[in-house]
A and B are shown apart, each in its own frame.
Chain A
Amino acid sequence: MTALTILLVLVLLLVVFGLLFRLQILTSIFSGTFTRDIGMSNSVNAILMLVFLVVGGAWFAYSFVENFNKMNPPIASVHGHQMERMFWITMAVIGVAFAITQTLLFVYSYKYQHKEGRRAYFFAHNNKIEVIWTVIPAIVMAALIFAGWKAWTRITGPAPKNSVVVEVMGKQFNWLVRYPGRDMKLGVVNYRMIDAVNEFGFDLSDKSALDDFTTNEIHVPKGVPVLIKIRSRDVLHAVYMPQFRVQMYAVPGMPTRFWFTPTTTTDEMRARLGNPKFNYELACNQVCGGSHFAMKATIIVDEPDDYQNWYAAQQSFSQKNPEVLAALKQKPKSLVSQTVDPTEAKEVAPAPLAASY
């Protein structure tokens, strides 16, 4: 139905333009001015400029307001609220510039349309106004840069010491999630140890890997800083969590990270939105292959107590997959040390150009 309406409107528009210009030819033939260079079509175009400004502006304003709620994903992180404020302040600033310049453009186009016998005003330059319209945008930009820089350094700065750590690994085409277990230390992983069972590439010869556990969903506590460590085991992916205003690439060979503080539990958000099926979603936002568009994970924000209980109830990877541990023990020691090159298996190996934060 919408399709039909739009189609109809555009076709009508086309017909109207066609008729307007056709009419102009006919009248100019009658009035004997057909060969004249600048005829009535000039004023038709000038009027259309004004019509475009008014109708286009009204349509834009209407559709913007109409879709305003749809285009604002709910916010559930501390820095998300700050970003949102900065986003709409910037939008207001550029909105003013947009309105002024577009209005001038179309109004001038209409107002200064060709008139017989008038001559344009020879006005080649004026240093004063040129300085003004260079300096004012420069000052506005400086303010925006400063605000952006302050927020950026805070958001990308080191995660607080009390952060909960969760690691996410991207692969074609799903997300693997791991937690550090009881010792709060993520064990060594090595991509050479990856197989169908050991998807993460746990190196169980590292003791701190023994209690690490993997899950399908990401659980995080409300009100506590969460540090997401990010890896990829094949191509580039990006961890994108629109409701938390979080995004960071997953880069093979270069672990990255992002920290944030959730402010609203999943249950609270469901109640607020009146949508019992609501879930926070993690989308892949860097093209990674055919099923890129379906590479999704769910994030559950729990109350801290619930989170503790959930965390305690998880079974470690080594417990769930004793055969991986057994296979490791059977291997002669020398082979193990060959496979596990300690320099490359370090948790955050400094790759070239790696983040230093």
Chain B
Amino acid sequence: MSDMAAKPNFSPSVQAQGGIGTAPVPATEHGDHLHHDDHEHHDQHWLWKYVFSQDHKQIAKQFLITGMFWAILGGTLSSLFRLQLGWPEGSMEWLTPFLGKWIQAGKLNPEFYLALVTMHGTIMVFFVLTAGLSGTFSNFLIPLQVGARDMASGFMNMLSYWFFFLSSVIMFSSLFIETGPASAGWTIYPPLSALPQAIPGSGAGMTLWLVSMAFFIVSQLLGGVNYVTTVINMRTRGMSMSKLPLTIWAFFLTAILGILSFPVLFSAALLLIFDRSFGTSFFLSDIYIAGQALSNQGGSPVLFQHLFWFLGHPEVYIVIMPAMGMVSEVLATNARKPIFGYRAMIGSLIGISLLSFVVWAHHMFVTGMNPFLGSVFMFLTLIIAVPSGVKVFNWLATLWRGNIRFTAAMLFAIGFVSLFISGGLTGIILGNATLDIQMHNTYFVVAHFHLVMGSSAFFGLFAGVYHWFPKMFGRMMDEKLGYIHFWLTFVGVYLVFMPMHYVGIAGFPRRYYAWTGFDAFSQFADMNKFISIAAIIAFLGQFIFIFNFFYSIFRGRRATQNPWNSTTLEWTAPIEPGHGNWPGEIPAVYRWPYDYSKPGAELDFIPQNVPYSQTQSSNLPYEQDMAE
């Protein structure tokens, strides 16, 4: 990056001089040089511009496209195991060219089935919805919406992506090894995940899984530290914490959750590596397997579950909170109304974040954990319904008496709210320890979290892509294709996951290769077929989006600077912002981000960078004081 060194005003460290200590006053005095730099940057070697870029916008696109690759793969895996569940007696001979030895005599290998569900979960939770969602939009929106030239450390940010890339390569390669990828479920509970004797996937596949996750965690921490630092130190003039868009609040709290919880997963992974490779007994005790009594004594598999879920539960909020933030933003913009209860929205995000650390053991009610703990965790878990409810009511109140434009992003935002309600409510059943005795590990759980965190987060991701695509690529995505994509996906998701609750109430266990062995679960043959068909069609429908995305990058209608008439800062930047985001000075901020349809105002939105002195006609009394 030699040409970077020649332009010190781009170096984030210089920027930070203005930021650290004096808080929201970044180094705008360098602004006038920046315009000059912008031209020179076109000469940058493509390798530094597109591959090893330190520009947050480029890194965001890298996260997004890698995430899309993973999402297609994760979806394909789910189609494979849905084929098995829908037609357990059917022949899969035709898949032999793709799956090779995992198809034996026309049947899917049951151990490979477990590998499929394991990899589907790992890929979707970590690689798509953590890295692909939060990685993309935290990177893209934080500097643009707080008014910063870039992340606090562009270099660390670049490392964050490349650690993710390395982790992706390792995880991807584990799909092709002789003994198959990790197969112990995405929760990798030992002893199954610790003992290759128990399942072949716990051999080299599990080693690669653990190594990959270690790099993934490094990536998350590098990213998270950057997001937090940027939000705290690099806000533009006037951008107090109480003027931040809800997206930024969500990304900020998400980053804090990640920083505090991912290291615990790292420790769990490390201890598991020790148990697997160095003969320790953290999680192993009294085991007789494959004709041999192991020497491990005194370890506890339940300890692993505590460590895993101490990350695992905050993780679901790491997945959903960025989506919540973006949905709040998209709903307000397209309803042309301020988000209802801005402070309550921040408060509920903080409440959810705090609670997310003290509810992990609700995944473990029936693991033999002390029942007293079960009572405590039931209490804490069900409390989460209150801040979650506040969010839903506030979104509804935002729509009330709005003037709604149904952009594709808006449709997905409304879909998000619907799915979040449907999936969230069943959490009230699962969080109740008594009812969880029956529901634990059944398809009821699968249906619940696929609605509330899986599909919802995907809808948040889609809303984000449709909404900020013009800022990312300077072009618009095709709205009509967006509508078709939405309605197909929305109907599809409900067709898949609503009936799945019925199967779950009947007690059908998850991670079962077939339901044919038990009388108790065999009454849903047709239903399983139905779910499989709906799932595969809904998955294929996503290619409409993929097509729209790549087509629009090159052939989409050219975007205007502020196509949605939005108030936040990113829309004051040029259509395709260069490195440094604003050619001149960074705009200062005077008002909160939700001045939509303000009575007395000329337009139905007032951007954050418009001072109160220019909007005399619409100022509220206390704002008038600030104008003078």
Interface of A with B (CB < 8 Å)? 2-3, 6-7, 10, 13-14, 17-18, 21-22, 25, 37-38, 41-42, 44-46, 48-49, 52, 56, 60, 63-64, 67, 70-73, 83, 86-87, 90-91, 93-94, 97-98, 101-102, 104-106, 108-109, 112-115, 118-126, 129-130, 133-134, 137-138, 141, 144-145, 148-149, 151-153, 155-157, 171-172, 191-192, 194, 196, 201, 230, 233-236, 238, 240, 242-243, 245-249, 251-254, 256, 277-279, 281, 283-294, 296, 344, 351-357
Contacts and interface: CB of A to CB of B under 8 A. Distances in A.
B343 interface: yes
B538 to A, nearest CB: 9
Given A46-B404, A145-B382, A249-B366, 7 more contacts: A2-B529, A7-B537, A138-B386, A141-B382, A251-B300, A253-B287, A293-B110
Contacts of B433: 148-149, 152
Contacts of B293: 191-192, 194
Contacts of A101: 392-393, 396, 421
Contacts of B403: 112, 114-115, 118-120
A352 B286 CA distance: 13
Nearest to A14: B488
Contacts of B440: 238, 247, 285
B155 to A, nearest CB: 40
Of A13, A70, A235, A356, most B-chain CB atoms within 10 Å? A235
25 contacts: A2-B529, A7-B537, A14-B484, A49-B414, A72-B506, A73-B520, A102-B422, A124-B594, A129-B397, A137-B386, A141-B385, A155-B434, A236-B192, A242-B438, A245-B438, A247-B437, A248-B366, A252-B285, A252-B286, A253-B299, A277-B519, A289-B111, A290-B114, A344-B286, A354-B368
A125 B337 CA distance: 11
Contacts of B406: 41-42, 45-46, 109, 113-114
A231 to B, nearest CB: 9
A120 B299 contact: no
Contacts of B366: 238, 247-249
Contacts of B389: 133-134, 137
Nearest to A192: B293
A252 B191 contact: yes
Nearest to A97: B425
B479 A71 contact: no
Contacts of A87: 429, 435, 438
Interface stretch (B131-139, B207-215, B222-230, B369-377): B369-377
B97 interface: no
A71 B502 contact: yes
B341 A130 contact: yes
Contacts of A17: 483-484, 487-488
B414 A152 contact: no
A124 B342 contact: yes
B198 A234 contact: yes
Contact of A73 (B111, B303, B374, B507): B507
Given A63-B499, A148-B432, A236-B189, A253 B526 contact: no
A194 B291 CA distance: 8
B502 A67 contact: yes
B238 interface: no
B437 A245 contact: yes
B114 A287 contact: yes
Given A133-B393, A355-B368, A144 B507 contact: no
A248 B298 CA distance: 21
Contacts of A156: 371, 374
A102 B300 contact: no
Contact of B378 (A46, A152, A285, A288): A152
Interface in B486-536: 487-488, 490-492, 494-495, 498-499, 502-503, 505-507, 509, 511-515, 517-521, 523-524, 526-527, 529-530, 533-534
Nearest to A66: B502
Interface stretch (B64-72, B454-462, B596-604): B596-604
Nearest to B564: A37
Nearest to B536: A7
Given A137-B389, A248-B366, A124 B429 contact: no
B512 A293 contact: yes
Interface of B: 109-111, 114, 184-185, 189, 191-192, 195, 198-199, 284-289, 291, 293, 297-303, 306, 335-338, 340-344, 366-372, 374-375, 378-379, 382-383, 385-386, 389-390, 392-394, 396-397, 399-406, 411, 414, 417-418, 421-422, 425-426, 428-429, 432-435, 437-438, 440-442, 479-480, 483-484, 487-488, 490-492, 494-495, 498-499, 502-503, 505-507, 509, 511-515, 517-521, 523-524, 526-527, 529-530, 533-534, 537, 594, 596-599, 604
A224 B513 CA distance: 35
Contact of A152 (B111, B191, B374, B518): B374
Contacts of B438: 83, 87, 242, 245, 247
B502 A70 contact: yes
Given A123-B401, A144-B428, A172-B198, A254 B341 contact: no
A13 B485 CA distance: 12
B379 A145 contact: yes
Given A251-B367, A293-B110, A119 B198 contact: no
Nearest to B444: A71
B487 A83 contact: no
A71 B389 CA distance: 28
A13 B488 contact: yes
A287 B414 contact: no
Contacts, number: 397
A125 B488 contact: no
A6 B526 CA distance: 12
A120 B597 contact: yes
Nearest to B390: A134
A21 B599 CA distance: 34
A83 B440 CA distance: 14
B494 A141 contact: no
Contacts of B390: 130, 133-134
A126 B371 CA distance: 41
A83 B437 contact: yes
Contacts of B341: 124-126, 130
Nearest to A119: B597
B434 A240 contact: no
Contacts of A60: 494, 498
Of A21, A45, A144, A192, most B-chain CB atoms within 10 Å? A45
B488 A120 contact: no
Contact of A148 (B111, B300, B417, B434): B434
A288 to B, nearest CB: 6
B519 A281 contact: yes
Given A125-B340, A251-B302, A281-B519, A289 B198 contact: yes
A94 B343 CA distance: 26
A84 B507 CA distance: 13
Contacts of A13: 487-488, 491
A353 B306 contact: yes
A195 B514 CA distance: 30
Contacts of B191: 234-236, 252
B529 to A, nearest CB: 6
Given A94-B426, A249-B367, A120 B401 contact: yes
A141 B185 CA distance: 32
A352 B379 contact: no
A109 B301 contact: no
A113 B404 contact: yes
A356 B370 contact: yes
Given A67-B527, A120-B402, A151-B434, A234 B289 contact: yes
Contact of B507 (A42, A125, A240, A291): A240
Given A137-B389, A256-B368, A285 B418 contact: no
A201 B512 CA distance: 29
Contacts of B288: 171, 191-192, 194, 201, 233-234
Nearest to A246: B437
A41 B417 CA distance: 21
